[in-house]
Amino acid sequence: MVVLFLLAVAAVIFAVDAVLGVIWLWTSDAPGAAVPSSVYVWGALVTAAVIFLVSLFNIARLGSGGAAVARMAGARLVPSNTTDPLERRLRNVVEEMAIAAGVRVPEVYVMDQESGINAFAAGWDVSGAAVAVTRGMLERLTRDELQGVIGHEFSHILNGDMRLNIRMLGVLAGIVFLGSIGEFVIRSVRGTKDKGVLAIFLIGVALFIIGYVGLFFARLIKAAVSRQREYLADASSVQFTRNPDAIAGALDQIRSAAGGTLVGNRYAEEMSHMYFGQSVKMWMGGLLNTHPPLDERIRRVNPRFQPSSYRTGRAQPAAAVEPISVQPTGRRVGDLATAWGRTPAQSAALVGTIDSGKVDYAGRLLASLPPALVEALRDPDRAGPVMAALLLAEPELAREKQLGAIPGVAVAERVRAVAPLTRGLGLAYHLPVIDLALAAVKRLQPGAKLEILAAIEAVINADRRVSLHEFVVLALVRSQLSERPKPVESKRIAELRAEAATVLALVAYAGTRADTTGARDAALQAAIRAGAGSLGIPDSVPSPATLTLDAASHSLEALRSLVPMQKGLLVQGLFAAVTHDGTIRVAEAGLMRVVGAVLDCPLPPLLESLDPGSLAA
């Protein structure tokens, strides 16, 4: 992409210099004189500066990530408590996929004015992702087909395609900018009879032609980058859903839809590489299409797909949406040690993955939540208090002390009102409940978000003892609701050895179980030794007195600045400590998922074979 972009810049500069040379010769008083080199030099410098400045401006304009791109596409935010059946079905599918992947629930948008079948995912990172679909997709696709498309978009979220796509959206704007100026000039002087504007009109025409040079290269870059990512996303959708007919059926519906995948929005050209299907018609389509042919995409995901028999048996897409009802099929256990057959490296490789078993588990987990709790999680005014209520103690006296510590009577009463909904929920429910709540809380004003953070902090600190789980939950909520910029990912574990050792010790202390003090100390040393060996840091066991809340907070925040591959190594070391005895507990699995969420290393459900109903104790 970089090479093609530099070639595009060179081509645009060459075209501008050629036009400037013609204009100089046309207006020169010395016939036959050569064009001064300074004309070409200044033309090249100014053109390059314009291209790069416009690109930088557009990248900055998209700083808010998915929300900014969705607004460009003319999409409308779907509230978490929507009552529209089709929108509710869409949100249910997105929530299931997010819980299965261990990522925050993306913001969901609908492009109401678009009747074609299309969708896109956008964002700088998984926490700020947005998923948008057209109204035509909602109305024409069945739930399975919709799930196939959302699985496709989650592949873009998990594989880092979103960040690349937004960068392309910003960078490529620079090389087509001159064409936009030329088009504006032509429109401005069209119809004017004054001969003095002829030169201006010709300059506009020249810039418009130059713009098509940039547009050609922009389309070539998008086509070169996008096609293979689309094949990968289709294949990932099959892996996520275990249903090749889902994505193949959605692609088949595009062939029979009146508008296909075309998008009428003014930014459809700029965003063409981000969509599920071809958003604009292309000349030289075989070379410049951003998406592979539909027949080839269908053949790759399901070579035996038969359109006629599939269309005959498919469900009606516009039927009333029924609530999901999933019967538990897994094992029922408490917080007993469960055999863990993966090595630390294999465990860390789970980051950013989904498979069909995890999607099924997410469906069972959501279906096992009390309906009243689900309703509260979709209400922006009650979702925040639910997160605080998750951390309330069971003894009534301790719970009343926590409620009394919450600043603001109104907030405390809202937490008290929803407390019965969360009573008895085990740790395995906490991350999914928090993710569902965050999707609603993010819509609140900054002041209301700070009230929620203050309430959670008060509940945690009321008994002057902070468990690791409470601390990590607070760190996760802070990272999602605070206005602080995301740390620059530039550090390595070797530079943050002390911080890595602190978090490793916290995880080891929290996960160690033994009947006697001696056995517990031995298990703790074994866990820290396993983790430290994987991370390449000293394996000394720190004193519990040094593991303060401030030290843990500083360490976890600092580790967020690790480069992505180093974060993977950190997660591997933490897994080495947690699973050093070949087992993992429900509490440890939940803790690892929350730590992964704070570090932007999303982990899917680790014990998806369990019955969610058994995790409520």
At 568, give phi and psi (nearest 5°).
Answer: -60, -40
Give helix 143-158 / helix 161-189 axis angle, nearest 10°. Answer: 100
| β-pair type (130-134, 119-122) | antiparallel
Helix or strand run (H / E) with residue 179: helix 161-189
Handedness of CA 302, 305, 310, 311 (dihedral sign): positive
**Could you give the CA distance from residue 510 to residue 528 in angstroms, rounded to a whole number?**
12
The residues near 159 (Cβ < 8 Å, ≥ 6 apart) are 229, 232, 233, 236, 352
Question: Which of 481, 413, 473, 419 lies closest to 452, judged by CA?
Answer: 481
Q: Which value, to the nearest 10 degrees, does the dihedral of the CA atoms of residues 177, 179, 181, 182 take?
A: 170
Alpha helices by DSSP H, listed for 462-604, are 468-481, 497-511, 517-535, 549-559, 564-578, 586-598
**Tell me, what DSSP letter sits at residue 323?**
P
Selecting among 96, 114, 153, 230, the annotated active-site residue is 153
B/e letters for 530-545, b = 16+ CB within 10 Å, e = fewer, are: bbbebbebeeebbeee
At 41, give phi and psi (nearest 5°).
Answer: -65, -50
153 labelled catalytic: yes
Handedness of CA 413, 99, 375, 75 (dihedral sign): positive
Residues marked active site are found at: 153
